[in-house]
A and B are shown apart, each in its own frame.
Chain A
């Protein structure tokens, strides 16, 4: 990515830091600044608006459940593409913001190979090379980038219609659009689970923007080391020794 993108991103961060605030207390680290949080929640908002307006149209079973939310079928259909455009636009900004920490590394490949231990919960701490984002987050991020490309191309075809693009193009776009939505929906269950009850202490990263140091050395050891200069495993061991329940 060129420097122009970075300059734009930095300017946006500064502007949003003036609008909002980042409170970091003792024993905490700043994880997401105001601009990142703002983008995340705009993406989330338009994702769910697009999801619900789209799912009413997607499944006949859900038509009578979801379309009234948006004032009926015609309005659902009219608004869905605009929700989608807003979703893609905000996610594009988030992509510029996150493209560097989302870069894939050899450590990420190892992480994916070792995913069983993550799911089974046998590994309490992340491996030492897990940086600002782990490989699971990166997979989800790039899936959404790919999904947005599919949404945008097929969505415009569906929006403009068969008169322009031909009936077979529309009929196939419709399937790709749906598959992309289903993959993203599956991903969002995991995303919401892990960011709330699945890994306690995560949610505040996207609300206040700060996380506890314990959270940081557990889930993102390399990032912890980078921002504090301390060894994450040693820090964890020291904390363990300080704990009163260890008698």
Chain B
């Protein structure tokens, strides 16, 4: 796919009219669409994720909900969050949201990471951890607005959902998508998924009485490669703490890419300063020193 795309003609000399083949192939970002309104909470995606990624067994936690465990783990990347929401009229609405890495267009984990090559973003938008380069500092945990990277205390590495980059690279859909029985999970290009999501949201608004239905694709981090259709897009927090306006800490932006190199260089000027002091002013010696000669003009003095 990628080879053919790079050989697509972009400009043509002395050619009137459009360029042949232009716009036929699309360079695309992949995207996972999660329609929370059709999720039945069957957890097939959780099982498929553990199976495909060959995860060791992870003990579940029972806390009087249907939720498998309180949050994702280093070996459990896909978790449906079950939330009972009481509507204004007193009735209960069950909100189920499949929680996993959002594959942000502007990934906070990647910005925060100090290790060369430990986090990469592919051109298709997938954000992937390269554990062989991870140094286990856990800065990515603080960079992530969705609390996704999880530290393994034994291997001292951080793990998260890969959006099945191994499957996607072979033209397959991610394991969770394949397992979903209701079709609430879809996988395709970002444009297509956005279109389907918006269409579904319009349908929910116009025909199902969900006036506030909408698509969750937060622009504060440049959009995500996992998008949600929510019954109430104005309150994403209801869905197990989905942030309305996810942010990367300013320190990872301003400090890391601007102030760090600038101040680091500034400190080197300190080194230059003492060297210049030595050659221009010279050392202070214990007194008394030999009396100074009158030096008028260099060697001629």
Contacts and interface: CB of A to CB of B under 8 A. Distances in A.
Contacts of B143: 167, 171
Contact of A200 (B144, B270, B285): B285
B134 A59 contact: no
A246 B261 contact: no
Contact of A218 (B142, B251, B287): B287
B251 A198 contact: no
A57 interface: yes
A39 to B, nearest CB: 25
A63 B115 contact: yes
Contact of A178 (B147, B255, B284): B255
A229 interface: no
Interface stretch (B11-19, B199-207, B274-282): B274-282
B134 A212 contact: no
B262 to A, nearest CB: 11
B137 A119 contact: no
Interface string A152-192: 00000010011100011011101100110010011001100
Given A73-B115, A236-B288, A171 B252 contact: yes
Nearest to B271: A189
Contact of B283 (A74, A163, A178, A200): A200
B260 A59 contact: yes
A197 B290 contact: no
A219 B277 CA distance: 18
B274 A239 contact: no
Nearest to A163: B141
Interface string A220-247: 0000000000000000110110010110
A243 B287 CA distance: 11
B271 A218 contact: no
Contact of B288 (A170, A175, A198, A239): A239
Interface string A192-221: 010001111100000000001011011100
Instruction: Give the secondary structure class of A's interface.
Output: helix
Contacts of A72: 135
B151 interface: yes
A121 B156 contact: no
Contact of B281 (A76, A120, A243): A120
Interface in B105-155: 112, 114-116, 133-139, 141-144, 147, 151
A241 B264 CA distance: 49
A121 B141 contact: no
B138 A162 contact: yes
Contact of A182 (B138, B267, B281, B285): B267
A121 B114 CA distance: 42
Contact of B144 (A76, A167, A197, A214): A167
Nearest to B288: A240
Contacts of A78: 136, 156
Contacts of B250: 171
Contacts of B137: 57, 77, 158
Contact of B116 (A63, A74, A175, A185): A63
B288 A214 contact: yes
A167 B141 contact: yes
Contacts of B282: 121
Contact of B249 (A74, A120, A167, A185): A167
Given A57-B114, A245-B290, 18 more contacts: A59-B260, A60-B114, A61-B261, A119-B277, A161-B141, A161-B151, A174-B255, A175-B255, A178-B255, A182-B263, A185-B267, A185-B270, A186-B267, A189-B273, A197-B278, A198-B278, A240-B287, A243-B290
19 contacts: A59-B260, A59-B264, A121-B282, A124-B287, A167-B249, A168-B249, A170-B141, A171-B142, A171-B249, A171-B251, A171-B252, A189-B267, A189-B271, A193-B278, A199-B285, A214-B287, A237-B288, A243-B288, A245-B290
Q: Give the top 10 A-B pairs by smallest Cβ distance, nearest first.
A: A171-B249, A73-B135, A170-B142, A167-B142, A162-B142, A240-B288, A214-B286, A193-B274, A162-B141, A77-B135
